[in-house]
Structure 1
Amino acid sequence: MGRGLPSDLRLAPGQKADVRRVLRLFRDYRPTLALVGLLIGLGAGAGVVSPFLIREIVDVALPQQRLDLLGACVAGLVGVTVVGAALGVLQAMLSTRVGQAVMHDLRVAVYGHLQQMGLGFFTRTRTGEVQSRIFSDIGSMQAVVTTVMTQIVSSVAGIVVAVLAMIAMDWRLTLFSLITLPIAVWMNRRVGRRRRAVVARRQAKAADLSAGIQESLSVSGVLLATTMGRTTALTDRFAGDSRDLADLEIESEMAGRWHQGLYGVLLAIIPALTYLLGGMLLFGGDARVSIGTLVAFVALQSSLFPQMNGLLRVATQVNASLALFTRVFEYLDAPITISDAPDAIALDPRQVRGELRMQDVTFTYPGAEAPSLRGINLTVEPGTHTALVGATGSGKTSTGYLMVRLYDPSSGRITLDGHDLREVTMESLAAAIGVVTQETYLLHASIAENLRFAAPEASDEDLVAACRIAQIHEHIAALPDGYATVVGERGYRFSGGEKQRLALARTILRDPPVLLLDEATSALDTATERAMSGALDALSRGRTTISIAHRLSTVRHADQIIVLEHGRILERGTYEELLAAGGVFAGLAAADARGEGTATGAHPQG
């Protein structure tokens, strides 16, 4: 199976995540970050007070047996520790709040952006991949945003303050202490590049695993695997992918560990060598070096070196995490193909008459070579019923997609009451045109919640009235929990016909002036379909209706029937006119009468 975004949605090289772009995520929280920085600075300053107090104890208080000075220095050591701990807790609280706020902003930004991506994006991208980037990638970034950035600032502040204090004590010992810095910089760059590559591979494999779980453990996936006898094979494939992910996790964790271990040994040797160098200076009669200075200097090293080592690890982690940011920014930077124009107008559904026109419309699906529709000219008069019929792949569903602006035409224009759909807000267009599709989608919630998804303010009486029209109320009333019954994932506790009737009731609640029925009765048995025909006629009265027909008998009373073939309109007229013409429609009607109606079935691009 494919991996990641389609090639036409990937970032250009210049758009890859870098530290500056990551830092821009914190732009709205600069006051709080300034306070965090102040607390970090105070904590770093408090941390270097202790070595000076230790030097005072060793060089003055103990040799001169000054109990007052010793007591003051000890009290200072205790006070510095307490203040440092309090500052650390407060700083951690503020930085965690900022980090969580940034994560919230990022999740909402990605989710909101994906909501606007349009149908084409999701037909080319696996659901598991989307979920992996929102939860796994952003979740993995959380540690970087909430703690690592603060650790970097804290470590840098601690290192700067410690180095300044060391220089104040003895600049020669300071230079000797920093001899490992070039080695650290070289190692960090080398390890960072390696870990970044490993993390990118790890997250891609995690996305594959997430997509596989989502596909195979859904209701449809379990049914497919069971009926095809593929449960063992799927388990084996999952085990292999999981093993690969575990290996990548180990590789990610171990990347650069030998380098860091060797550097840690080197840092541990430096204090011992500092005693040797300081002793040589002391034995040589250098007045600038005392026993207290030497002890305090090594104490500063014990604070400096762990921060340097920690900064190396954190910098490596940040470098590696840029692969996560890049994956998330790919979604944020993916172009939105269907969006409101800057000057888009909002239609009032109560004022919409329902006149739809397609003027010389040609449409090609993204990535496809041949057009699905060619030069379509069609007028749907207000309050009339127009039916679209044709064999699989003829362009019926594509026409419906364009009418509700799931896609924009490649050329030509589509208007509603004279307004180009590209000049109308998406929200008002959705309120004006109600859609019931063959692929009914129900939420894993109660029947009432599913119905109120279309009209949150609907009363219980409104729900019952809509369900009566859709011929589903009696069935719901017979259930033990009635309208509180949970429909199950994707509505699998209900039959196909029951799901379609619920979807129809959901659309009825919105009372749109235009109704698009895309194979809306295809899952109904003949008796139920006949029972619903009167209800649909009553529902359609006074509003514009476009129906994509599976059974030609359902469009017998349509005001006009449009016959499509290979993306073109071949015939148009009433049911009787087209039968009398003896053309393509007459052949479809004959096949439908013989029970071969599947010839007109819907197609994802039909």
Structure 2
Amino acid sequence: MNDRKKTISADSSNPLATLVNLWPYMWPAGRADLKARVIWATVFLLISKLVLIGVPYFFKWSTDALNGKLDLAGLVPTLLLGAVALVIAYNLTRLIQLGLNQLRDSMFASVGQHAVRQLAYKTFVHMHQLSLRFHLERKTGGLSRIIERGTKGIETIVRFTILNSVPTLVEFLLTAVIFWKAYGFSYVLITAITVWAYVWFTVRASDWRIAIRRSMNASDTDANTKAIDSLLNFETVKYFGNEDMEAKRFDASMARYEKAATEVWTSLGWLNFGQGVIFGLGTTVMMVMSALAVQRGEQTIGDFVFVNALLIQLSVPLNFIGFVYREIRQGLTDIEQMFDLLEVEAEVVDKPDAKPLAIQQGSIAFKDVHFAYDPERQILKGVSFEVPAGKTVAIVGPSGAGKSTISRLLYRFYDVQQGSVTIDGQDVRDITQKSLRAAIGMVPQDTVLFNDSIAYNIRYGRLGATDDEMMAAADIAQIGHFIRNLPDGFGTMVGERGLKLSGGEKQRVAIARTILKAPPILILDEATSALDTTTEQEIQAALDVVSKNRTTLVIAHRLSTVINADEIIVLRHGEIAERGTHAGLLAQNGLYASMWNRQREATQAEEHLRQVRESDDLGVLVRGQPAG
């Protein structure tokens, strides 16, 4: 992608590089309010660290005051030199520092969430820009989990990089300066060695844990994919009684997830223990040094307490260093697949100089079109035909002949490898995809509806349509009366993929949706092949109304639905085998005639079987015996 330089490298382990890459999202252009929040969050951050340094000082002074060793003449007002006053000041300072931290977090919250929203939106838009080939190969469950983890990972990286990395660095520098000025270089050296060993161990251990995290993510994605796929195919599972098999497949994925997740938590335990040992050793050395200095009279008890308090205080951001590094690395692991998705280039893109489609009459032309999904398997081999404006042309042929591929090329889900597809003489590759698809209406074989109301699904054809226009479209599609008789009318929910409606009802909703869109070009892609004969005839009548005076391309399996087409094109092995009218093709006595005869015989056999069954049922009733 052109703006990939603004995103995070999946293998990056440099928090500074991460901060640079995320800067456009934390300092968004045109959002002065969010920029102000970043500034104020930084101000509160720095003030809180300065206040925090005062906490161990008040602890030291309180201890010396109780021990009678306090000597702060000229530095602190006499009123505040009492032990009780210093204890109160000590706790008050802690509360002020805590309040500043909460102000910092609340100021930065909207910045982090805005970054999450930006990247989630960017990913969602990118998914819709990718080709049909990509979506046919991807699994919905795994894809949704990748995006979910990725957006959470972005929030983690933004928040912890800004709110923890910088404060930790500031606090370490302040601690080093205090130790150097008050107790000498040896304390600074021990502190630096402890911090270096702590950070080195944290980085090495966290890198080791990344592989475990990736394994856990892979198992999580696999389990979610199987769960979503199984639930989407609920009826198929029931048809074959394979609930146990589906449960075992899901449990096998969850078992791998369980193992990986257990290893993640176990390795975290070892990481925390190692960090504790390293910091504990450094603290022990410095406390022994301070204890010996107290015995020699070089330090007071307050100094001993101060060194301990300052080290304990330093352990908090140090622990955050480990936590921040782990979270950033794990966040990068979580989002690396999301950024891999963002790196996938769209197969079909508009040219830089692409123009909107200018519909004049709506004629379609395929000229010497060659196309293959796979280079080793050619689908269309030099197909040429024309659909004149306002006419109906049907594409028929055996399965695998390339019929549906023609509709996909016209919709520009794919680009032809050779030849051209034009509308009113305009190559579809030279016009914008949005304007192309706005001019075409599709009634597919397998109508999939949104899990929303009937009204929403019909109005999807033209979002700005009025209720009257939507209802009129339903009436033309011969489904308005049915909808009005439902308890909730047009507000009736259709269920997942429209499964609460019958096949014919779904097709009528799809037809109403296309009527509402009112496109000049219409594609009927085997729109009635999955329906019974009676429903097919009813749907066909509605389709005839819709296609009137429109340029219509019909892709059909049942030849009875295309006998009135202006021209019928017969495809075989990706080539045009025959073409002509229904009567003319029958007269040729070729492939079309053969297909017609087979379908007619099958239809006659079905009709005969139906009549026999009705006759048997009637005879049983006449004899007064129960059927069956």
Q: What TM-score, normalized to structure 2?
A: 0.86
Distance (Å, rounded) in 2 between the aligned partners of 1:201 and 1:486: 40
Amino acid at match of 2:69: P
Q: Secondary structure at the match of 2:579?
A: strand
For 1:224, the equivalent position in structure 2 comes to 236
Q: State whether structure 2 residue 176 is matched by structure 1 residue 163.
A: yes
Q: State whether structure 2 residue 568 is matched by structure 1 residue 546.
A: no
* Larger RCO: 1 or 2 (CA < 8 Å, sep 6+): 1
Shift of 1:164: 2.2
One of 277, 284, 289 as aligned partner of 2:289: 277
Of residues 307-316 and 49-58 in structure 1, the stretch that sits farther from structure 2 once superposed is 49-58
The question of whether the paired residues in 2 share the 8 Å contact of 1:195 and 1:252 is answered with yes
Q: State whether structure 2 residue 326 is matched by structure 1 residue 316.
A: yes
The question of whether the paired residues in 2 share the 8 Å contact of 1:446 and 1:483 is answered with yes
The question of whether the paired residues in 2 share the 8 Å contact of 1:191 and 1:316 is answered with no
Q: Secondary structure at the match of 1:595?
A: helix
With over 3 angstroms needed to count, the CA separation of the structure-2 counterparts of 1:342 and 1:122, relative to structure 1, is same
Amino acid at match of 1:198: I
With over 3 angstroms needed to count, the CA separation of the structure-2 counterparts of 1:419 and 1:481, relative to structure 1, is same
Q: Secondary structure at the match of 1:48?
A: helix
Of residues 392-401 and 587-596 in structure 1, the stretch that sits farther from structure 2 once superposed is 587-596
Within 5 Å, give how 1:37-436 maps onto structure 2: 37-58=42-63, 62-63=68-69, 68-71=79-82, 73-74=86-87, 76-139=89-152, 141-147=154-160, 149-170=162-183, 171-218=185-232, 221-283=233-295, 289-347=299-357, 351-365=359-373, 367=374, 369-436=376-443
The question of whether the paired residues in 2 share the 8 Å contact of 1:354 and 1:381 is answered with yes
Amino acid at match of 2:370: T
The question of whether the paired residues in 1 share the 8 Å contact of 2:115 and 2:154 is answered with no
Distance (Å, rounded) in 1 between the aligned partners of 2:522 and 2:42: 58
Distance (Å, rounded) in 2 between the aligned partners of 1:529 and 1:567: 27
Shift of 1:270: 3.4
Amino acid at match of 2:318: M
Of residues 17-26 and 231-240 in structure 1, the stretch that sits farther from structure 2 once superposed is 17-26
Of residues 387-396 and 226-235 in structure 1, the stretch that sits farther from structure 2 once superposed is 226-235
Q: What TM-score, normalized to structure 1?
A: 0.89
With over 3 angstroms needed to count, the CA separation of the structure-2 counterparts of 1:251 and 1:64, relative to structure 1, is closer
Unmatched runs of 5 consecutive residues or more in structure 2: 1-7, 28-34, 605-628
Shift of 1:368: 5.2
Shift of 1:532: 3.9
Shift of 1:471: 2.0
Distance (Å, rounded) in 2 between the aligned partners of 1:445 and 1:235: 29
After superposition, the C-alpha distances for 1:256-298 in whole angstroms (9 at most, x for unaligned) are: 4224313313423433432321243455565xx4443333222
With over 3 angstroms needed to count, the CA separation of the structure-2 counterparts of 1:417 and 1:63, relative to structure 1, is same
The question of whether the paired residues in 1 share the 8 Å contact of 2:294 and 2:304 is answered with no
With over 3 angstroms needed to count, the CA separation of the structure-2 counterparts of 1:336 and 1:176, relative to structure 1, is same
After superposition, the C-alpha distances for 1:20-49 in whole angstroms (9 at most, x for unaligned) are: 356523424333334322221211111112
Shift of 1:384: 0.8
Distance (Å, rounded) in 2 between the aligned partners of 1:465 and 1:515: 19
After superposition, the C-alpha distances for 1:572-591 in whole angstroms (9 at most, x for unaligned) are: 11111211112211111111
Shift of 1:452: 0.8
For 2:30, the equivalent position in structure 1 comes to none
Q: Secondary structure at the match of 2:602?
A: coil
The question of whether the paired residues in 2 share the 8 Å contact of 1:95 and 1:147 is answered with no
The question of whether the paired residues in 1 share the 8 Å contact of 2:150 and 2:336 is answered with no
Distance (Å, rounded) in 1 between the aligned partners of 2:578 and 2:189: 89
Shift of 1:460: 2.5
The question of whether the paired residues in 1 share the 8 Å contact of 2:69 and 2:300 is answered with no
Q: Secondary structure at the match of 1:111?
A: helix
The question of whether the paired residues in 1 share the 8 Å contact of 2:176 and 2:191 is answered with no
Distance (Å, rounded) in 2 between the aligned partners of 1:190 and 1:49: 34
Of all paired residues, the percent bearing the same amino acid is 31
Of residues 59-68 and 271-280 in structure 1, the stretch that sits farther from structure 2 once superposed is 59-68
Distance (Å, rounded) in 2 between the aligned partners of 1:561 and 1:15: 54
State the Cα RMSD in Å: 2.4
The question of whether the paired residues in 1 share the 8 Å contact of 2:354 and 2:430 is answered with yes
Q: How many residues align?
A: 577
